Homo-oligomer: A and B are copies of this chain.
Amino acid sequence: MTKDSRHFAKAVDPLITKLCHYAALEESEKQLLIDAIVRIDEVKKRHDLISAGQRPEHLHLMIDGWACRYKLLENGRHHITAYLLPGDLCDIHVTLLDRMDHSIRTLTSAKVALVSSEKINRLLDQCPRLARAFFWSTLVDEAVLREWLVNAGGRPAEVRIAHVICELLLRSRAAGLAEDDSFILPITQEELGETMGLTVVHTNRILQKLRRNGLITFAKQRMEVHDWKRMQAFAEFAPDYLHLNIQR
C-alpha cells in the first residue's frame, strides 16, 4: 500500500461513516470511493472551493475543517445556505446539473479531497448501492434546507439561532467532533448571522440573551449547551429531519 492510498483511505473515513447512516457499505464499495480520490489539498480559510456558474473537473470532499454553501445577493451581501463538515461531499451537483447555482467556500483552513467527477459519475451507474447512498445524503441535505427555510420564515431570531446551534451540535457529534454537549463552532457571529438572515448586531444581542438565560456558553469558538432538554424545547428543535439513527 502506497503512502497516498493510505492517506486516501483515511480521508474517506468520515464520508463512509456518514453514508453508513443509510446502509453499511461493502469493502469493495469503500475501495471505489478511495480510488476516486485524485489528491488531497490544504485550503486556506475563506477560500472559494467552487463558484456559481462553474463546472469544475473534480468534486470536493471535506476531510478536515468547515466550509459553507452560499449565494450572493444583489446588494452585495451573501447568504449561507449550508454548512459542510468533514465527510460531506460538497458538490455532487456538478455530476448531474449543468452548472453550479451557488458557491462554496471554506470557513476555516481545511483539508479537502479532490474527487474525480468522472469516476463518481461511472460509480452512479455501476454501483446502485453507492448511488442510493449519495441520493439519500442529498435528500437529507434537502430536509435540512427545508428546516432552515421554516426557521427563517417562521421563528423569531432567538429561536432560530438556538435551533441552528442544536443542529450543529448533533451534526458535529455525528461527525465525531463533539464531546458531551459542546463543540467547536469555528465561525464568526457575522457568518452565523448570514446563515439566519440576521445582522451581526442582532446576532450578537441574541447570543448574549441565550447566555444570560443560561442556555449556552460560547467563547473562543467553543459552543457549549448547558441543559439539552431546555435548549431543545426553547429552540423548538425536533431532530428527525436530520435522519440520524442516533437519537438523543
CB within 8 Å of B: which residues of A? 22, 53, 69, 71, 73-74, 77, 79, 81-82, 92-93, 96-99, 101-102, 124-126, 128, 131-132, 134-136, 138-143, 145-150, 152-155, 196-197, 236, 240-241, 243
Contacts and interface: CB of A to CB of B under 8 A. Distances in A.
Contacts of A92: 139
**How many copies are assembled?**
2
Given A142-B138, A142-B145, A145-B142, A101 B243 contact: yes
A77 B136 contact: no
Contact of A132 (B81, B93, B96, B236): B96
Contacts of A77: 154
7 contacts: A79-B154, A82-B146, A97-B143, A101-B243, A102-B143, A124-B132, A152-B197
Contact of A152 (B132, B140, B147, B152): B152
> Which among A82, A93, A126 has the highest number of chain B CB atoms within 10 Å?
A93
A98 B98 CA distance: 30
Nearest to A159: B74
A203 to B, nearest CB: 12
A123 to B, nearest CB: 10
A194 to B, nearest CB: 8
Given A97-B136, A124-B128, 17 more contacts: A71-B146, A73-B154, A73-B155, A81-B146, A81-B149, A96-B132, A96-B135, A97-B143, A101-B241, A102-B146, A102-B241, A125-B128, A131-B135, A134-B135, A145-B149, A152-B153, A153-B196
Given A138-B138, A140-B97, A74 B150 contact: no
A112 B92 CA distance: 31
Contact of A79 (B74, B149, B197): B149
Nearest to A198: B153
B93 A139 contact: yes
